[in-house]
Structure 1
Amino acid sequence: MLYHLLYPHHHLFNIFKYITFRTGIAFLIATVLSIIWGHYFIDFMKKKQFGQIIRSDGPESHFKKKGTPTMGGVFMLGSIFVTTLICGNFFSMPLKITLGVTFSYFLLGFYDDYLKVLKKDTKGVSAKGKLVWQFGTALAAMYVMVSQNIINTDVYFPFFKSPIIDLGYWYILFGSIVIVGFSNAVNLTDGLDGLAIGPIMVSAATMGLLTYVTGHKEISQYLYIPYFEGMGEITVLTAAIIGAGIGFLWYNSYPAQIFMGDVGSLSLGGTLGTIAVLAKSEFLFVVIGGIFVIEALSVIIQVASFKTRGVRVFKMAPIHHHFEKLGWPETKVTVRFWIISVCLAIMALSTLKTR
């Protein structure tokens, strides 16, 4: 909004044309909004007694969390949307597509939490229903990306200049799997106080740098990264995610005053997956978001092993609960996963110059 209102008077407000300036402003606005709105949202949820339902088969230490307000993703995503509306350049198709996916997954997560928390339906939206909604949104977004030539259909691999594989229209399905996969992986990671939001912010910061580079013609050519017009504007969105995440962590740090809920985890996971596709970093994001990948794989391995052999590989899945069962304090699991996330992000960024 500020860009569209002020940039026409560029002789007075020339600074608003710079993505870096609007990125910094977005971070500050989102942080303040998230902290302020979070305070009132938690009070509202407490008054209405809309609290978290705890799994009966979960770690015993979690039973005391029963009734803690949830759906914190509402004020976090609200802060992100408002901030991006203020600071974003909506001439950018990549930004509009990413926000479209985010909003669609936000609605899905909100409805799922609504059924669980307000209607006391422990099942929420069925697994099949979620996948239909997620893939429908992802396929539509991918079709627009490819048909409008917003991105190409090539797949790039970390560490190597080649091979570069052109998937053609199969890329629509490939990209959709990436978006849906990371949406659900982040959702599985959201199980401990502060656990999911740490890697989300690290991933957002890393992807923000990658999208800025992808949208900068000279830097992208130097680093042998494909250039796509308008991609740099997503950096503003990633700054808003980090700021809103900090505001959420203000209340979600141990002991949590509020939980993220599916409304936050599904939408933010889908957002990061969409950004990974737009930045042509689908495989690199497997490294950047390695914590999410590990969490999802632990569930897949656990289910597959139990169904085929009747044996559980982990004491409990997702894997963060396995470490809790081993006796690790919740805060130790969370901080160590954060550390791993930062290390993976640094390792991923180091691949840029090795191509």
Structure 2
Amino acid sequence: MRIVLIAGAVSLVVALFGTPLYIRWLVHRGYGQFVRDDGPTTHHVKRGTPTMGGAVIILASLLAYAVAHLVLWRPPTASGLLVLFLMTGLGVVGFLDDFLKISRKQSLGLRPKAKLAGQGLVGIAFAVLALQFPSADGVFPASTNISFLRDTRFDLAFAGTVGGTLLFVVWALVITSAVSNGVNLTDGLDGLATGATTMVLGAYVLIGTFQSNQNCATLTEIERRCYEVRDPRDLAVVAAAVMGACFGFLWWNASPAKIFMGDTGSLALGGALAGLAILSRTQVLLVVLGGLFVLITLSVILQVGSFKLTGRRVFRMAPLQHHFELAGWGEVTIVIRFWIIAGLFVALGLGLFYAEWVVGE
């Protein structure tokens, strides 16, 4: 447990004290946020606020992971490195998007196809690598099984080794793209995405720790209650490192935000959550844990679908948080109430995870 605490503490300190230094550098370089003219008018005052703050979260997480392992002299694991790879890779895609917005002095960065292509390349590389590097007892970082609270009997390998691999890559790509874009859509109000993501990461610290304590190296009569997850403790370390970085960043990102995470941060955090879900065998459970992201994404789908089919809008503006802004809710009120909703989803997800073990006994 010490390695989890060290990772969380180091990333918190680095992000908390490193973010203001990064803000000064961004201001000196003139790297400020550009706000859409068709967005809520209350956002116009945010024009020029430093962005690309997600770089701090990524660097703090990587540094904390490395320091925690060096302090206790433990080697990194395949699972931990894979999640960090996915987070950093998607963060690079987001960084390019943010940088183009700044350099072009407009709110549009990478073209949608180019952005999706970048996410796809990183997601495919992660999925392929996740099916490599078995542990000493033959457990791979990822499984071709569709999982909710643990591996299920529905195995994508029914199509054969090659077919199962291809289906898994597609499945992992869908999860990665959906989660990263879901966090991206949730971003937009000061502290909203950061706070909600922190709660889900906290859940994965608990899930990884519990799986590590209950993991079974051999198959027994209680196999169904064992978690065949490679490196669950290190997944908890990664979750703690990213969570600590989010806490430190949130200090400066809370309303009124001194810095925005940008796509650099939202895509990276979505990647971290997707990676943790896939490698901890809780892919479908993430739909519950990240319920707020699901609701906000659905609001955009409904809005676009309704407008194309009927010419009418369901909400005053999508994503959902902007609908309530136009309805007259204050920004801080929306953020806090959405945090409450996010917390309830996380509590429900953790309850399902733990109840499944207790009932199994």
* Distance in 2 of aligned mates of 1:266 and 1:176: 14
Change (3 A) 1:86 1:163: closer
User: Which amino acid in the other structure matches residue 124 of structure 2?
Assistant: L
Post-superposition Cα deviations, 1:316-347, rounded to whole Å, max 9, x if no partner, equal 00000011111110001000111111111111
Offset, 1:229: 2.7
* Distance in 2 of aligned mates of 1:27 and 1:346: 21
Q: 2:336 maps to what in 1?
A: 335
Offset, 1:39: 0.9
User: Which amino acid in the other structure matches residue 274 of structure 2?
Assistant: G
Q: 2:161 maps to what in 1?
A: none
The aligned runs of 1:134-149 (5 Å cut-off) are 134-148=119-133, 149=140
Assess if the C-alpha contact under 8 Å between 1:90 and 1:96 holds in 2. no
Assess if the C-alpha contact under 8 Å between 2:14 and 2:245 holds in 1. yes
The aligned runs of 1:227-242 (5 Å cut-off) are 227-242=228-243
Q: Does 1:120 align with 2:117?
A: no
User: Which amino acid in the other structure matches residue 43 of structure 1?
Assistant: R
User: Which amino acid in the other structure matches residue 304 of structure 1?
Assistant: G
Q: 2:293 maps to what in 1?
A: 292
TM-score for both structures, normalised by structure 1: 0.89
3-state SS of 1:56 partner: coil
Q: 1:279 maps to what in 2?
A: 280
Q: Does 1:98 align with 2:95?
A: no
Q: Does 1:165 align with 2:154?
A: yes
Q: Does 1:349 align with 2:340?
A: no
3-state SS of 2:258 partner: coil
Question: Could you tell which deviates more after superposition, 192-201 or 125-134?
Answer: 125-134
User: Which of these residues, 17, 24, 40, is aligned with residue 21 of structure 2?
Assistant: 40
Q: 1:17 maps to what in 2?
A: none
Change (3 A) 1:130 1:90: farther
* Distance in 1 of aligned mates of 2:271 and 2:148: 21
Q: 1:151 maps to what in 2?
A: 142
- Identity, % of aligned pairs? 34
Assess if the C-alpha contact under 8 Å between 1:215 and 1:229 holds in 2. no
Post-superposition Cα deviations, 1:205-247, rounded to whole Å, max 9, x if no partner, equal 1012112233344489688253223121011111111211111
Q: 1:188 maps to what in 2?
A: 185
Assess if the C-alpha contact under 8 Å between 1:157 and 1:164 holds in 2. no
TM-score for both structures, normalised by structure 2: 0.88
Q: Does 1:22 align with 2:3?
A: yes
3-state SS of 1:227 partner: coil
* Distance in 1 of aligned mates of 2:10 and 2:172: 31
Change (3 A) 1:157 1:97: closer
Offset, 1:162: 9.5
Assess if the C-alpha contact under 8 Å between 2:288 and 2:345 holds in 1. yes
Change (3 A) 1:150 1:54: same
| Number of equivalences | 334
Assess if the C-alpha contact under 8 Å between 1:153 and 1:171 holds in 2. yes
Q: Does 1:59 align with 2:50?
A: no
Offset, 1:114: 0.8
* Distance in 1 of aligned mates of 2:21 and 2:148: 45
Assess if the C-alpha contact under 8 Å between 2:6 and 2:68 holds in 1. yes
Offset, 1:74: 1.4
The aligned runs of 1:301-320 (5 Å cut-off) are 301-320=302-321
Assess if the C-alpha contact under 8 Å between 1:212 and 1:231 holds in 2. yes
